[in-house]
A and B are shown apart, each in its own frame.
Chain A
Amino acid sequence: MNENRFQKRTLFLILYIVFALLPIYWMVNMSFKTNAEILSSFSFFPRHFTWDNYRTIFTDPAWYSGYLNSLIIVAINMTISISVALPAAYAFSRYSFIGDKHLFFWLLTNRMTPPAVFLLPFFQLYSTLGLMDTHIAVALAHLVFNVPLAVWILEGFMSGIPREIDETAYIDGYSFPRFFLTIFLPLIKAGVGVTAFFCFMFSWVELLLARTLTSVDAKPIVATMTRTVSASGMDWATLAAAGVLTIVPGAIVIWFVRHYIAKGFAMGRV
């Protein structure tokens, strides 16, 4: 009976993966075609295989600097988001203090706000501060939705750890930083992995704020990709190639945090 259940699960998984990968395959397919071929007929494999689209991206500085800018922005944002979220999540999880429930919900509300709402105010704010077209501006702007998310997810995982672990550590003489880094963090590995990935992802794909706050120096790749509409119409092929290349950093991040997400919670003796 075990085998039957196992096969059903595997079948479902395979079906889903096919469903998930088909559009991606289509994107890869498109990236090796020319615009003409894309728009003219349906072909499962490129009839006239071409590297042109990738060549455009790798040689045009506007394109590859876009990737670099995105990476810098996201790196800054991830670092700040997780560093400030960890202590806050711990506080929410372990202690009760004045206004804690309201504060938590207020944090969530920031995640709920349509980004369009922040557009004009951010524009004014960063212009005034002289931070327009810098990586730090976009990284700070993205904190609005990433920090609440990070606190939210981490708090959930932290609350799953019994408080006995904290108390045992204090009795054993651990200082708070040592306890946090050597005992607590490893136990919430899955949460940290997921948080890191989501912070990366949401900041990486955010378009509206990124495009508004940058023009040349810090223009991220997502903004560069929107300029593929020209007089001759949409440049589908280059866009597809850019899309394929956009997945790569994300796949690498997932690869790095996979151990954190996939490893179990081993409740050994602390």
Chain B
Amino acid sequence: MLSSKPVNQKAWWLVLPVVICVAFSAVLPLMTVVNYSLQDIFSPERRVFVGTEWFALVMRDDELHAALWRQLGFSLAVLTVEIPLGIMLALAMPAKGWKASAVLVMVALSLLIPWNVVGTIWQIYGRADIGLLGAMLQKMGFDYSYTGNATHAWLTVLSMDVWHWTPLVALLCFAGLRSIPAAYYQAARIDGASKFAIFRYIQLPKMRGVLMIAVLLRFMDSFMIYTEPFVLTGGGPGNSTTFLSQYLTQKAVGQFDLGPAAAFSLIYFLIILLLCFILYNWMQRVGTTDKEGAGHE
């Protein structure tokens, strides 16, 4: 908003507690992972330094590429559905009164269920013989089977994620909307603005901050998704819903190979980091008012 912030190195004191907490939890373990990724571990005593061999191995893996593409497709689909839906939901939710509280609680419920339970419930929910969704779809004439049909499996996993996580986007946007002073709406009424103009010129810009958080969070979390699809489809049918996290776990747990697993973890992390970095900077540029921008649009 304002052009520049005052420089104040003493601000580091305010940030120090956070740095300590996170560094303690993150830096030390990460160093261990890097350590493992560069060694071949036969047993706790026998380790051989192998340099970047694991990294090369991991990068050449075809199945990895397939899982990566599936993952990218999934994350893209998730963002495309959840962000607009979340915004629309936030706009539709009442702002005041008992209705606001009731709707808020009802919307947030899906976020509170442990992820393995989410998968488990949808497992039954989606079965044509004993589940509500499955039965409904069957009655409507679809030959629905998330265990047999890859497309159905994809759609089910997607629907489950949308059901589970859209409220996150909605809650963030809802809080953002509540921060807009009434005077803006009053001025817009006086200016004769249409409802769409109010959305485009007042609500959307003011939600920019929270939307960025929502997009990045959903991207990250969908990219790392493990429990829910694993419980629901187990990665199948075949490996049509095997996303990156599951692939990693299969490799690490199935083969007890810490070296490649650690290497893959790092690569995984770096991919997310890269994509988030790109997304973050792109959103900053699109949204922010920068000093150089003044004068030319």
Contacts and interface: CB of A to CB of B under 8 A. Distances in A.
B6 A246 contact: no
Interface string B240-283: 00000100110010000010000001101100110011001000
A239 B116 CA distance: 10
Given A116-B248, A157-B209, A21 B171 contact: no
A13 B93 contact: yes
B104 to A, nearest CB: 5
Contact of B112 (A23, A190, A251, A263): A251
B121 interface: yes
Contacts of A85: 18
Interface string B69-99: 0000000000000000000110111011000
Contact of B120 (A222, A239, A246): A239
A185 interface: no
Contacts of B112: 201, 204-205, 246-247, 249-251
A120 B258 CA distance: 10
B108 interface: yes
A85 B174 CA distance: 22
B140 to A, nearest CB: 15
A247 B5 contact: no
Contact of B117 (A22, A246, A249, A250): A246
B18 A88 contact: yes
B294 interface: no
Contacts of B11: 91, 94-95, 97, 100
A129 to B, nearest CB: 11
Interface in A165-220: 190-191, 193-194, 197-198, 201, 204-205, 207
Nearest to A152: B213
Given A205-B114, A251-B105, A116 B245 contact: yes
A240 interface: yes
A109 interface: yes
A187 B212 CA distance: 21
B114 A222 contact: yes
B25 A263 contact: no
Given A95-B8, A114-B245, A193-B175, A264 B95 contact: yes
A30 B12 contact: no
B181 interface: yes
B19 to A, nearest CB: 7
Interface in A141-169: 141, 143-144, 147-149, 151-153, 156-157, 159-160, 162-163
Given A23-B121, A96-B6, A125-B28, A157 B19 contact: no
Interface string B30-60: 1011001000000000000000000000000
11 contacts: A114-B269, A115-B224, A116-B249, A117-B30, A163-B2, A194-B172, A205-B115, A240-B121, A243-B121, A251-B109, A254-B104
Interface of B: 1-2, 4-9, 11-12, 14-15, 17-19, 21-22, 24-26, 28-30, 32-33, 36, 88-89, 91-93, 95-96, 100-101, 103-117, 120-122, 124-125, 129-133, 135, 163, 167-168, 171-172, 174-176, 178-183, 195, 206, 209-210, 212-213, 216-217, 220, 224, 226-227, 245, 248-249, 252, 258, 265-266, 268-269, 272-273, 276-277, 280
